[in-house]
Structure formats: C-alpha cells, structure tokens
Chains A and B, each alone.
Chain A
C-alpha cells in the first residue's frame, strides 16, 4: 500500500506515524479515562446538572472509539498498521467534533464552553501543534455541518468570538510549552545519533583493517606456533614461552575478533537508535532457531562461556521481520548476561544462561534467562529507557534498541527479575502465519 502513495502523502503518513508513536504510551489511559468519562457524564448532564441537549448515540460512538483504543495491545497485527489513522480519527471525533457539536447545540451559556476548554487542553497535551491545528479545523467543520443539518433553526451562539479568544492562548501555550522537555530530550538523542553516525563512518575502515588483520592472524598463528614447537624440540636457541603463555597467544585472535564484533554491533545499534521507525523496509521470514544459532556462533564465545549456555532448541517458529535486527537483540542479551554472570557475587562458576521457546495462542515467545546479579526492583521499570544504565560497562543503548526492534516487529520485550537471583527477558513475537 505504502509504495503506491506519492511522496507528499508518504511524508504525511510518516509524520502521522511518528506522532502516533510518540503518543502511544498514553493510549490505554486515554482510552479507559474517556470510555468512562463519556458514560458517566451522560448521566451527569442528563440527570443531575441537566443540560439542554444530550445524545446517547453520539456518546456511544465516542465510547466505542475509546474502548477499542484502550485495547490496542490486543489488536490483530494487520489492524495495527492503521493505528495512526485510527488515532487521528479518535482525536477528531472525541475531542473536537463531539465538544464543538455539544457546544453549538447547548449554546455558550451552558457548561459546554468549559467542557470544550478541557477537551482543548487534552488535545494540546496529546499532539503536536500541526496535528492539533489540523484536528481542530476538521473536527470543528464537521461539527458545524452536523449542527446545521440536524437543527431546524441553526444559530451562531452568543459571544462565540469571546470563546475563541479564550481558547487561542491554550493553543499557543500548547505549541510553545507542552512536550518541550521531551522535545529537548529528543533533539539531544538526535544529535547524539548524528555524532554516532559520523563516528561510525570514521571507524569503518580502521575496523575493517582490524577485521582483515585478525582473520589473517587467526589463520596463520597456529602455523607459526607449530614452527615454534618444532624449533623448540630441535633445541634451537629461541626465546622461551611457557605453555600457558603460548595458549593465551593462540587464543588472542579469537578475543580480538570478539571485541571487533562487539564494537561493530554497538555501532550498528547506535545507528538503529537514531530512528525507531524500523518497520518501513521489506521483511525476511526466518526461523528463530536459525537466528539464535547465528547469534551464538557469530558471538564466538569462548568454550568456557559456551558451556554456560543451555539452549533448548525446540518449538521453532517463524518470524517476519529483519533477521539482522533480531540477531543483534540476542548479541545484546548475551553480552549483558555474560557480564552480569561474571560480576555476580555468586561467582561465575555457578551462573548459566537458559534459552527456550514457547508457542502461544497469538504470540510466540523466546525466554532468555540468566543467573547473574539480577535487577533491583527500583530499576526494573527503567531498564528499557534510553541512556539508562546502572553499570559502568553499559551505555543504556542496548535494551532500548531491543525494545525498539521488538515493537517494530509488532511484538515486545519484557523483563522479570529478582535481585541476586535471576533476570528473565521474554521476547514476544506476533505469530507469523504464511498467508498473512
């Protein structure tokens, strides 16, 4: 569908998606609050502080819109792609059309000027000023048309211009002050991302050089060591290395390779964090088992670390999305888990990582558990926040990345933990059905 759109429409669509994404954390609260609000106030205005005009059908539509919004986490995957449109329609209907229509029907001497003001405040809190302007113009126009069509003797309410003058400062204040903090935070993240892009670019060739060199070392070091042993048994006058040192020597290229992969992975995540709208590209369909296999083998664990991992390779399922992105999630989880196991007071010998899969009704899950230090209860709600890191080793990029990718797949990642006992990450993937 997207490919058919022309560039202007596409820009608008991306803009809507971005704003919807920003507002999404509020959807459930918004939906629940307004579902009740529209119901309760019907009785309030109809039975208690009686207002001239009330209409249950008009309220029912609003209730239905808000109720469905509150349930957005349970929407089928296919519907989720229209969430931005749904969100804008909901705002237009519930916050502007409804209140304007009621104001026109009841006149300015009712409670409705006050009610409309509250709706306006809601709107500026929930959207940016461009969207707010659009939503208000559309909602108000529809309300006028509806008012004229349904009223035998339509009239312009008294003192309407006074009301409009009262409302303008709210709009202005909304545009100027609301979300300012968030916007500054976002700008900050954006500039960090841009610096990240520059750094990534500068590091490209040096990293590639290291990759090449390490690959060559890895291949040829064993030959040199063999030559060393031959020279040693021939009692040639060569410097003496202990067996232990020779062994470390031999493992050096592996360690270097691991570090290089770590750096490139980190850079990639930095770039991906630059923009959470990941879902715009063509997807792969891949087996989660293959993906985990690849992550484990590419992370080139030392034998010691490899033994820590207990992977129950069963219940394979398919995922629709970018395999590379998901592989990076596992890199990230492995890296974190290994770190926390190694610093755990229980000692690294007792630690382990368990990975297993599970099929659910609408979702498939990957469980990733480690017995490292666990996460303190007070930190648990923040671990997916950007630049939140309680360790000296972390940057607060990794888990944010994981969350962004899982969300872009229409899934999620959640964490359960008990301090000093375990940490469990649950990766929730929407069920992939081939005929989707």
Chain B
C-alpha cells in the first residue's frame, strides 16, 4: 500500500489537454458529479457554477439510473444522426432554439472510494456510454487509476489531495467536454468522408490558421456555444447572453440567417433557472 502512495506522490500528474480543435458543434453541457460526501458535492457544484451545470448524486446507483433515463430521452448522438449527409448540415444551428440543449451530459466525475460501489465500478457500467469519465481518487487507488486509464475505463483522473485541485479540475472539465464534442464531430464527418466537400471541411477544421482565428473569436467575445452553418466552414457563435457572432466563409452573409433572438434560451438564463 505504501508503495502505491509513494508512486502517487512521486509521479507528477499532468492532465492531458488536447490541442485546441474546432468541432462542428459545441455547447455548455451538464456534468454529473458523484461522491458520497454531500458537502463536497454542494461545494463543488457551487465552484463550477460559472462553467457548467452539475447534477449531483451521493449514491452511484442513483447516478446510474439517472444516466440511463437521460441517455434515452436526450441524446445528442441521436439528434446529430439527422445530419448524416453533410449537405443538410445547414439546419444544425437550429439547435439554438432547443431550450434543453444544455441538458446533454458530456462528463461524469466520480469519487473512487464510495460505499456500495466504487467509482471504477460505476465507470465500468458506463463502458458503452459516450460520456467522458473523470475519476477523483485518493492516495491508495493511484495504481488502480493508472490501470483504468490504460484500459480505457476512464479518460482521466485527478488526485483529490492535489494542491492545485480546483485548477486541474477545471482544465480537465474543459478538455474532456471538448473531447465529447470532437468525438461526435469525428463520427459525423467520417460517415461521409469520401465526399469532396467533407474532405475539404475536414482539412479546414484542422488548419492551424483557421483554428487560431476561431479560438481568437471565442476568447475575445467570451463565446460559450458555436454551430457550423454550412459545409464551407461558416460558424455561428453565441455568448452567454446569446448574442450572435458570425464567421462567414465562401462569400455568405449573416443576413441570410434570420435569427429569432427571442426564441433562444441563453446559457445565462438557463443557469439562473436551475
């Protein structure tokens, strides 16, 4: 046991933050937080309240049944299926009128040591669920966490006693939620990858200059969600008050899109109501 602890302390733990990529869609999503310590759940939800809504569970079994229900009712994959052909991608941005779009669950964060069912056992049951999985662990389960990450049962883990816990948790949430959307993006683009238009789009989304420009817009206007508008790589961005920003390609103009602003539930409004 002592060896595990030493390993734990001595391996500098770094969260792998994937390169900034551009997805075809990105929205704030709901996190599921599981820990048997209620105070920890409440406090963490408070701390994360500016980034993402959290559903909290003090029992893994409750979280499991919630996730099962949710994935049947509100599954982004299902909604994305209608865009199997890249040509009809131009209706993708209509998702902004969906007031439930922030309910999508992208990430489950669970403590390891819980009575009844450990965090790893919980994640094992979610093996086929597309949500990303982040384990919070203590000293003793470090070796287990490493192995679980190798086996693909979890995507990442953070030590609960890390001095930079808050910082690392936020970085991990950012990286993993973004990963959730990039998996969806990949799946969608690969369906139609032999099409010349798709090939061109894939190339554009990976183009460094384009990616930089894209992230500059996100930083500058504090964008919280964005949608691909067409196969040429035009995008619609919304900030948390749902103010629109545009990046148009191929000579298109924002005026072609008539936004019904009053019908968009902004992320800010959404957060006020929960």
A202-213 vs B: 1/0 string, CB under 8 Å? 001111110111
- List A contacts of B2 (CB < 8 A): 193, 197, 274-275
Given contacts A212-B47, A268-B161, A325-B10, contact A197 B37 (CB under 8 A): no
Complex CA gap A211/B165 in Å reads 8
Complex CA gap A325/B11 in Å reads 10
- List B contacts of A324 (CB < 8 A): 9-10, 12
Q: Does A271 contact B (CB under 8 A)?
A: yes
Q: Does B44 contact A (CB under 8 A)?
A: yes
Complex CA gap A205/B7 in Å reads 20
Complex CA gap A207/B37 in Å reads 11
- Distance in Å from the Cβ of B96 to the closest Cβ of chain A? 29
- List A contacts of B40 (CB < 8 A): 205-206, 208-209, 212
- Distance in Å from the Cβ of B41 to the closest Cβ of chain A? 9
Q: Does A226 contact B (CB under 8 A)?
A: no
Contact assessment for A284 and B9 in the assembled complex, using a CB-CB cutoff below 8 Å: no
A87-108 vs B: 1/0 string, CB under 8 Å? 0000000000000000000000
Contact assessment for B11 and A213 in the assembled complex, using a CB-CB cutoff below 8 Å: no
Contact assessment for B9 and A268 in the assembled complex, using a CB-CB cutoff below 8 Å: yes
- Which of B3, B136, B138, B140 has the largest count of A CB atoms less than 10 A from its CB? B138
A263-307 vs B: 1/0 string, CB under 8 Å? 011011001101100101110100000000000001000000000
Contact assessment for B47 and A216 in the assembled complex, using a CB-CB cutoff below 8 Å: yes
Contact assessment for B10 and A278 in the assembled complex, using a CB-CB cutoff below 8 Å: yes
Q: How many residues of A contact B (CB 8 A)?
A: 34
Contact assessment for A216 and B161 in the assembled complex, using a CB-CB cutoff below 8 Å: no
- Distance in Å from the Cβ of A385 to the closest Cβ of chain B? 21
Interchain CB contact (< 8 A) of A209 among B11, B12, B43: B43
Given contacts A284-B12, A324-B9, contact A208 B1 (CB under 8 A): no
Q: Does A81 contact B (CB under 8 A)?
A: no
Complex CA gap A284/B11 in Å reads 9
- List A contacts of B139 (CB < 8 A): 197, 200-201, 204, 271
Q: Does A111 contact B (CB under 8 A)?
A: no
Contact assessment for B163 and A209 in the assembled complex, using a CB-CB cutoff below 8 Å: no
- List B contacts of A212 (CB < 8 A): 40, 43-44, 46-47, 165-166
Interchain CB contact (< 8 A) of B163 among A200, A213, A261, A275: A261
Given contacts A207-B161, A209-B40, A323-B12, contact A278 B5 (CB under 8 A): no
Contact assessment for B37 and A275 in the assembled complex, using a CB-CB cutoff below 8 Å: no
Dominant secondary structure at the A interface: helix
Q: Does B160 contact A (CB under 8 A)?
A: yes
Q: Does B6 contact A (CB under 8 A)?
A: yes
Complex CA gap A201/B111 in Å reads 13
Given contacts A204-B160, A208-B165, A216-B47, contact A281 B10 (CB under 8 A): yes
Q: Does A215 contact B (CB under 8 A)?
A: yes
- Distance in Å from the Cβ of B144 to the closest Cβ of chain A? 14
Interchain CB contact (< 8 A) of B161 among A193, A264, A298: A264
Complex CA gap A193/B5 in Å reads 12
- List B contacts of A211 (CB < 8 A): 165-166
Contact assessment for A213 and B10 in the assembled complex, using a CB-CB cutoff below 8 Å: no
B7-19 vs A: 1/0 string, CB under 8 Å? 1011110000000
The residue in chain A whose Cβ has the minimal distance to the Cβ of B1 is A197
Complex CA gap A123/B231 in Å reads 82
Complex CA gap A193/B191 in Å reads 56
Q: Does B194 contact A (CB under 8 A)?
A: no
Given contacts A207-B161, A216-B47, contact A271 B9 (CB under 8 A): yes
- List A contacts of B9 (CB < 8 A): 268, 271-272, 322, 324-325
Complex CA gap A373/B5 in Å reads 36
- List B contacts of A265 (CB < 8 A): 163
- List A contacts of B35 (CB < 8 A): 205
- List A contacts of B263 (CB < 8 A): none
- List B contacts of A281 (CB < 8 A): 6-7, 10-11
Complex CA gap A271/B7 in Å reads 11
- List A contacts of B3 (CB < 8 A): 275
Complex CA gap A206/B113 in Å reads 13
Given contacts A209-B39, A212-B40, contact A267 B161 (CB under 8 A): yes
The residue in chain A whose Cβ has the minimal distance to the Cβ of B170 is A215
The residue in chain B whose Cβ has the minimal distance to the Cβ of A205 is B37
Complex CA gap A47/B9 in Å reads 60
Complex CA gap A209/B1 in Å reads 25
Complex CA gap A276/B40 in Å reads 33
Contact assessment for A206 and B37 in the assembled complex, using a CB-CB cutoff below 8 Å: yes
**B125-149 with Cβ < 8 A to chain A:** 136, 138-140
Contact assessment for B10 and A197 in the assembled complex, using a CB-CB cutoff below 8 Å: no
- List A contacts of B44 (CB < 8 A): 209, 212
Contact assessment for B6 and A216 in the assembled complex, using a CB-CB cutoff below 8 Å: no
- List A contacts of B160 (CB < 8 A): 204-205, 207-208
- 16 contacting pairs across A/B (C-beta < 8 A): A197-B5, A201-B139, A204-B138, A207-B161, A209-B37, A211-B165, A212-B43, A212-B47, A212-B166, A216-B46, A271-B5, A271-B9, A272-B6, A322-B9, A324-B12, A325-B9
The 6 closest A-B pairs by CB, nearest first: A281-B10, A215-B166, A209-B40, A212-B43, A216-B47, A205-B37
Residues of A in contact with B (beta carbons under 8 Å apart) = 193, 197, 200-201, 204-209, 211-213, 215-216, 261, 264-265, 267-268, 271-272, 274-275, 278, 280-282, 284, 298, 322-325
Other contacts beyond A200-B139, A212-B166: 16, CB < 8 A? A201-B113, A204-B160, A205-B35, A205-B111, A206-B37, A209-B37, A211-B166, A213-B46, A213-B47, A215-B47, A272-B6, A275-B3, A280-B6, A281-B10, A282-B10, A322-B9
